[in-house]
Amino acid sequence: MKYSIDHVSAWVGVVKLRQEIVECMNDLRPELQAILDLELQAGNLVFQASRGWPDPGSIFITLSLPFHRTYEVKDPVQYCEPNDPYYWKVDYSCGKPMHVLAY
């Protein structure tokens, strides 16, 4: 899927920031892009994205809504439920540097 600012939540009001989020989406590992594509098709949007955490070169993407379903994970993808009330509830991650798709 080709990502655009239409895939980013309207709550991210600054166009430049929305474009930076799209760049992170495009650089996300293909294994996580597959999950992201299904979420976008189901109506989810990306709320925020960043680079450089938890490792230099990492990408961390947060969705606006909970995952529409639980996805089957195959190596190298990992599934985790940190259920942290301040940060995120669920994530899929893979690789070194680690890339993360979370809600």
Residues 6+ apart with CB under 8 A from 97: 55, 56, 57, 58
Q: Report pLDDT digits (tens) over 83-95.
A: 998 999 999 999 9
Residues 6+ apart with CB under 8 A from 56: 97
Report the chain's mean pLDDT, rounded to a whole number.
96
Domain positions in the chain: 5-102
The lowest-confidence range among 12-21, 43-52, 93-102 is 12-21
On whether the pTM is more than 0.85, the answer is yes
Collapsing DSSP to helix, strand or coil, 91 comes out as strand
